[in-house]
Structure 1
């Protein structure tokens, strides 16, 4: 079982003015028993808050995968990619590029996505669009490689830091 953290980025959602449909779409695509949700939060579109939460969760050692939804577009308040990259040790551009390439088959708007994927410590971080449809389509693309990617990060951790 992989330990999942869901971070929804939405100022109106953080104020309780909007239902978190993106977070629910992540749950629907990454259900138990394969994924156990261990963290969940809705935060405002604030780069420092986003970077802080991703860093905190990844550094806790209690999360294998962080998936965020929202803030990956071209709007002035869409700061998730920059905030996430600040928290990452390394990017995994192939996953983000493949999500864009594959979802372009469904909508030309996919080329406007600024989603990023990366690693902090032993945690994989994936940023997704805010729409449930975008979340689902993007996760469908990366779902087949998620277990292998997470296991590689866990294996590397055990080899480098024996317990």
Structure 2
């Protein structure tokens, strides 16, 4: 088992020193799901929600969240993201909205946390915009699907 890189020899939290790491192209994709009542999903899909375009707002929120990850998670490095894509797909059969967030950069550390943050905040935004009509929504399955680049190379769930 590998050691935790965010702890020093005394067991204290620290930011990982990436100074000597190579710059490589890196990407990560995270997904999530917001389950909701059929009527809530219909309102989103048909653009009838009183607060406006739920999916467009959630997409922008996810992008903004990826850019602010280091402000939210204490030991994350601020990153110069080169791409953030948030896709939101209504899924009638599953009863909700599927979320996929992919972040990319050329740098010294990975973008998994940025992708996970983007997916999480996109889901939270859907919830926030729709809670007046459906308080029983469930945000679930926020998870890393794949990452590319860096010393560890390629990983896929």
Q: What TM-score does the superposition give when structure 1 sets the normalisation length?
A: 0.29
Q: What TM-score does the superposition give when structure 2 sets the normalisation length?
A: 0.29
Larger Rg: 2
More strand by share: 2
More helix by share: 1
Which structure is richer in relative contact order (CA contacts within 8 A, separation 6 or more)?
Answer: 2
